[in-house]
Amino acid sequence: MAPLPTFSRRVVLQGAGAIMVSFSLRSLPAGAEEAAPSKLPGSLAVDPHLDAWIRIAPDGGVTVFTGKAELGQGIGTALLQIAAEELGVPVERLTLVTADTGRTANEGYTAGSHSIQDSGGAIRNAAAQLRELLITEAARRLGLPSDQLRAERGKVTAPDGQELPYAELAAGVDMHVAARPRSVFRDPGSFTIMNTPMRRIDIPAKVTGGAAYVQDLRLPDMLHARIVRPPSYRAALKSVDLDAADKMAGVVKVFRDGNFLAVVAEREFQAVKAMRTLAASAEWDETAILPAAGRLADAITALPSRDLYILDRHDGTGQAARTLEATFTRPYQSHGSIGPSCAVAQAVDGSLTVWTHTQGVYPDRAAIAEMLHLPLDKVRCIHVPGSGCYGHNGADDAAADAALIAMAMPGRPVRVQWMREQEHAWEPFGPAMVTKVSASLDAAGRIADWRYEVWSNTHSMRPGAAGSLLAAQHKAESFPVPAAKPLPLPEGGGDRNAIPLYVLPNAAVTYHFLPDMPVRISAMRSLGAYMNIFSIESFMDELAGAAGIDPVTFRLNHLDDARARDVIRLAADRFGWADRGKVVAGRGFGFAFARYKNLAAYCAVAMEIESDTGRVRIKRVVSAVDAGQTVNPDGIRNQIEGAILQSASWTLYESVTFDATRITSVDWATYPILRFRDVPDSVEVHIIDRPGQPFLGAGEAGQGPAAAAVANAIADATGLRLRDLPLNAQKLRKQLREGL
Amino acid sequence: MNRRFTVLRLFACLIVLLGIAIGVVAALAWYSPITPIDRMPADRFDARLIRQGADLAALGDCDTCHTAPNGRSFVGGLPVPTPFGTIYSTNITPDPETGIGRWSEAAFRRALRQGVDREGRQLYPAFPYDHFTRLTDDDVTALYAYLMTRTPVRASAPPNALPFPLNHRFVVAGWKLLFFNPGTYRPDPAHDAAWNRGAYLVEGIGHCGACHTPRNALGAEKSSRFFAGGEAEGWTAFPINAAAASPVPWNADSLYAYLRQGWHGLHGVAEGPMAPVSADLAGASDGDVRSIAAYVASIIGETAPADRPEGRTLAAMTRPFGTGAKPQSAGSQAAAAPAVVGDGAGATIYAGACAGCHESGRPVPYGGTDLSLSTALNGSTPRNLINILFEGIPAADGARAPIMPDFGAVLTDTQLADLARFLRAKFTDKLAWTEIDAAVRQARSRRATAEASTSAAAGNP
Amino acid sequence: MMDLTVNGTTHAIDADPDTPLLYVLRDHLGLNAAKFGCGLGQCGACTVMVDDRAVLSCVVPIALLAGRRVTTLEGLGTLDQPAPIQQAFIEEQAAQCGYCIAGMMMRAQALLQATPQASDADIRHALEPHLCRCGTHMRILKAVHRAAALMRAHDPVRGAL
């Protein structure tokens, strides 16, 4: 790989400094929550004022504001690239402020691969319009027409060489103006910052022991708290000995509010020891309410459902010659953050500040305020990065834990960190799902009709309401869990990507939305798309096999979207799909494709695996992705590589386990994930840049295709079609034997 | 094994072999080469036969010896330490030059049945043909089909490091004359088919006795002390006959679960050379593993009630299975810090490093083994305990299984010894071990050797 | 009270002897790199070096460490003067969320100090106790290879061994 351009030390420090700045307490800027006009691009609809997104200080320093959060996906760097390019300022001069209810616009959740589309869109438009304002001001001062002036490297330059720095011009520009719906963007052909691989601003601190995470936040006089969670979902505290823990060294407080138990100590390990002592003394009444794990698919499809007929298309053509059908299942799966959730909260004079790695500072604030009966303006939530979350993990719950305890310890900051088993047992899992598909082929090997059904809970129980927080559920004044709602299409939740992108003249798709949630669930990276793409793309291979057509050709035969065809061809080409050779025993090739949400990035994955005795090892992966206009190509590659490996882990190994009462997968011994011995020999990501096209979110584009590529490669290698996730060695061996 | 004893063995070996070798062996040692064949294409083999072979390869744990550390399956190159020197496993992929690609099935059969390679050379009994000779024709054919359809890899094993005269293969013929009893398994009509299936697998492809039966001075299994316990690669292979040392008696069910998943709550975790055995048995057929378990259970036999408390009674006295049992859920993964557990450095180390998991009150894999149930702690030598402390229990390959961190890097030799002494005294009613310091030194030196061989291999690409 | 030597400095630590090293590093000494991941020795996020060997600090009580040398990622290099392993991870952009990375780097550092010519198989084997959830594995492997090359360049004599 060619060396990437390097950030100067100054920017590195500013990157790290941005965290420090956001730790300081400042009041809300006026107008941050005014009603927004519609029709503005990206998140400008949330806050149309240019200075909500970018401000130029008198010293020429530029601050970029985003309501989105850096989750390790590298959006901080990409957003700065966008702002620097459109504004015409070296990246080194930019400082980024991320999600903070005290400082940034309300951009909701950082989720769904939306950040570059929404926040990037707002910042790009704001930067472009600010640049126009600076040029207009320069034109006024110089008495020259605007179209003769160039805005680059932090200054406006006239044809005769006269220069006016932005710092000087900014004084004469009112930046608190509403954005116009349309902007004049720079020509992609002239890009010098966007579409070039840029080193991430957050990595230097992360590899030198800098304070990079909320876990590293140490405020003066800070206390350490640990929670004692109930052993199971509806457990009620029968009895507990608070005194024993209270008497332990360093313990400042033993806290009980209903079923919510916590200890607070001066030192962190003192809190851990007190927690263990408190936990050992707690007696709980438990209720066996969990579904039968051995027959999970039956339990899921037996839940009451609201049926949503999301596609019903018939043109009367197509003569079915042969019909195939199949059922696919997915277990509950865990986000599995490596760092258990953590938060710091401090109550001062009735106002509460919470430092949290939540994906949504505004919704989290609303939920915490409701739980504590505080007005919204008395609660401030500041995002500080945590360990990767991949969706709604324990972050919001930890924030609520810290908030509840901090209110009882006025003045002193309280840091809560969950233990490993608490994260594993109490985080909201990715929902279990079942899909059924049947389709007919005509005599020519085309799909004559297609019927698809998916059973799933919602894929978001994120806060907004207090009842979505564990602390609010467990405290004596218990808030009820809010009713689940299906997420609307076109993005969808359980039905995300349930409608194939393929040309299917006769197709029906039904979403059986399941309001009852026997297991705590919420959003996990790519939501239902992972399972729907796994199902659809597995089944496409089954159909291709039945038709006797190469799987890549079969897909192309059913696609008229030119960009979809391009990524498929590129992945197949770079993989050497056509020349992949005849099958050697135990070796197989798999291919899969999807356009995430049918409206974000396109991604195709080709894969070679080895499976001798049931154990599957991925050898080589080649993928192609079209994310529209590229911002940071290295960032996209990193995201797609990660998506493929994470999905391989979900697909090959992972399932939450439980008995009738309790979650039993509580650590990495009982919830195994990918380790280095199973990491592929190589993973390639090829990007198709689309200059001038809209940004397409790419962070979750790889999960679905990677999963189906694994299944298709296993089928190619062994002749066995596995449809029940995870596709682990145990199942493969069982099928291999039964296939005898 | 101390050096003096090894020298004595070698000396004994020399005398015996010299006597025999001169007259008889020359004639016995000679076998004709078997004509090489062109490599058989993979599609020549029946898929059903290949799967049968895959099952046998799993039951025989072939890939463990025929795979170098961090190497590819069946490529060989693993150094196998024996009391007589180091033997390197060979490449059994179908590579024509360096593997068995040019071996006919007849040549393969001769190697398994008679311990002679395609070219007619004697094979050292580190390759357990004294067991594989029991295989049926059909199973040999299946194993051949499986191995000939693996990915061929070109790689030669390093030369064996054996002293004279053992470096001359004809001496093996003398060894065979004394100890080798060829012939397929003969079912015992006194037992049913399942027992006989188990016996066939254990005596034949499974070659359990290779580790679990003690060997004589010339490295042959002592048939009179069948399954009385042996050793392998610096580990003690515990007795699996009436002398089995586990506090709770084994039975067919617990053996089955242990062999299948690599751990059992009432016994502990398969470690050292046993770990890959159970990992492979996870992929074997259910019926075969049950047969193996039933057969081994019959060898262990009913334990005299006077010897040990009833298994259930003992289990009920432990944390994970007794009244202190904790649910495997949030809030009680690690145990509350134990009150004072005893005096001395060992007690302090135990309290700080071990008790959190081992006193969690939860059965494996949700918590650590209750140490009063551990076979390693109750066994006759401290070697396995020391080895586990050194190496830990690595995560299984994508499967639910216990994990234990290794402490070899952080504990000093003195700390390891203190801890071992403390654990033996606290959790068993057995006599104190006498050879702890030696076991620690051996484990430390084995680890250093393993690391040096990694460096050496890396330095010589 | 006990003396603990971390990154070349000896500190008087006021903590119970059963306190795991990790909590002392983070809470008493204010160091960030070693992370709490599981507290059970299952994930590798807390890895530091004790006398040049990689050790899981979450399961090592400080009572064991009298007279030993503890090294954390902070002790290898700084933003201004990154160590080869740090430079390599920056150059390969080998992080997503980065939470697991400090532990991985310490394991790699210990490996490369002992085995400058570590093969790809050696590196994968050494990293086996470490979990990464973002799927950054390919870059981590590349970064360790790059670090090995940088370290050999810094120390050609040892590197040629």
CA torsion sign, A670 to A672 to A676 to A677? positive
Query: Are residues B296 and B251 in contact, defined by beta-carbon separation less than 8 angstroms?
Result: no
Distance, in Å, from the CA atom of A462 to the CA atom of A475, rounded to the nearest integer, reads 19
Average confidence (pLDDT) over B386-391 = 95
- Residue B87 — φ and ψ, nearest 5°? -115, 135
Hey, is A573 helix, strand or coil?
helix
**Rounded to whole angstroms, how far apart are CA atoms C62 and B345?**
13
Cβ–Cβ below 8 Å for C40 and B333 = yes
Show which of residues 81-140 on chain B sit within 8 Å of chain A, judged by CB atoms: none
pLDDT tens digits, C125-139:
999 999 999 999 999
Interface contact A89, partner B, CB < 8 A: no
C-alpha A249/C-alpha A555 separation (Å) is: 66
Pick from B149, B282, B365: CB nearest A670: B365
**Is A227 touching C (CB cutoff 8 A)?**
no
C66: contact with B, CB 8 A cutoff? no
- Judged on CB neighbours under 10 Å (0-12, 13-18, 19+), A307 is exposed
pLDDT given at position A656: 97
pLDDT at B308 over 70: no
Asked if the Cβ–Cβ distance from C114 to B461 is below 8 Å, we say: no
Name the neighbours of B, counting chains with at least 3 Cβ pairs within 8 A. A, C
In B21-159, alpha helices (H): 26-29, 47-60, 62-65, 105-114, 129-132, 137-148
Calculate how close chain C gets to B105, using CA atoms only, in Å.
33
Q: In what order do the strands lie in the sheet with C2-6?
A: C9-13, C2-6, C69-71, C47-50, C53-56
**DSSP-derived 3-state class of residue A253:** strand
* Per-residue model confidence as pLDDT tens digits over B128-175: 999 999 999 999 999 999 999 888 899 999 999 998 888 888 889 889
Contacts of B329 in chain A (CB under 8 A): 231-232, 421, 425, 662-664, 666
Residue with tokens 């620097």, as numbered in its chain: A84
A339 contacts C102? CB cut-off 8 A: no
Half-sphere exposure of B88 (CA within 13 A, CB side): 14
Q: Kindly report the number of other CB atoms within 10 A of residue A71's CB atom.
A: 26
Identify whether A490 is preceded by a cis peptide bond (ω within 30 of 0). yes
Three-state SS at B410: coil
Q: Does position B27 have pLDDT exceeding 50, yes or no?
A: yes
Q: What is the CA radius of gyration of chain A?
A: 27
What pLDDT, on a 0 to 100 scale, did the predictor assign at position A573? 98
End-to-end CA distance of chain C: 42
Q: What is the distance between the alpha carbons of residues A215 and A356, in angstroms, rounded to a whole number?
A: 9
Asked if the C-beta of B64 comes within 8 angstroms of chain A's C-beta atoms, the answer is: no
Say which of C26, C39, C124 has its CB closest to residue A679.
Answer: C124
Would you state the pLDDT for residue B352?
87
- A229: nearest CB among B330, B336, B399: B330
Do the Cβ atoms of B151 and A587 come within 8 Å?
yes
Q: Residue B357 pLDDT > 60, yes or no?
A: yes
Helix ranges restricted to H, chain C: 21-23, 84-91, 101-114, 120-126, 137-154, 156-159
Q: Are A73 and C89 within 8 A, CB to CB?
A: no
Most C CBs within 10 Å: which of B70, B332, B391, B406, as the mutation test of the C interface? Answer: B70
Burial class (CB in 10 A: 0-12, 13-18, 19+), A281: middle
Q: How far apart are CA A249 and CA A269, in angstroms?
A: 10
Q: What is the pLDDT of residue B309?
A: 58
Q: Which residues in chain B are closer than 8 Å to C149, comparing Cβ atoms?
A: none
Q: How many CB atoms lie within 10 A of CB B345?
A: 16
Contact criterion met (CB below 8 Å) for B184 and B136: yes
Residues sharing a CB contact under 8 Å with residue C131, sequence separation 6 or more, in sequence order: A338, A668, A673, A674, A675, C37, C42, C43, C44, C45, C100
Shortest distance between the Cα of A510 and any Cα of chain B, in A, equals 34
Can you give the pLDDT at residue B387?
A: 96
pLDDT (tens digit, 9 = 90+) per residue, B396-438? 888 899 999 999 999 999 999 999 999 999 999 999 999 999 9
For residue A317, what pLDDT is reported? 81
**Cross-chain CB nearest to A200 (options C74, C93, C135):** C93
**Spans in chain A with pLDDT lower than 50:** 1-38, 740
B400 to chain A: which residues are within 8 Å by CB? 657, 665, 669-672
The pTM of this model reads 0.92
Q: What single string gives the DSSP state of each residue in A414-431?
A: EEEE--HHHHHHHSPBBP
- E strand or H helix that includes residue A595: strand A587-595
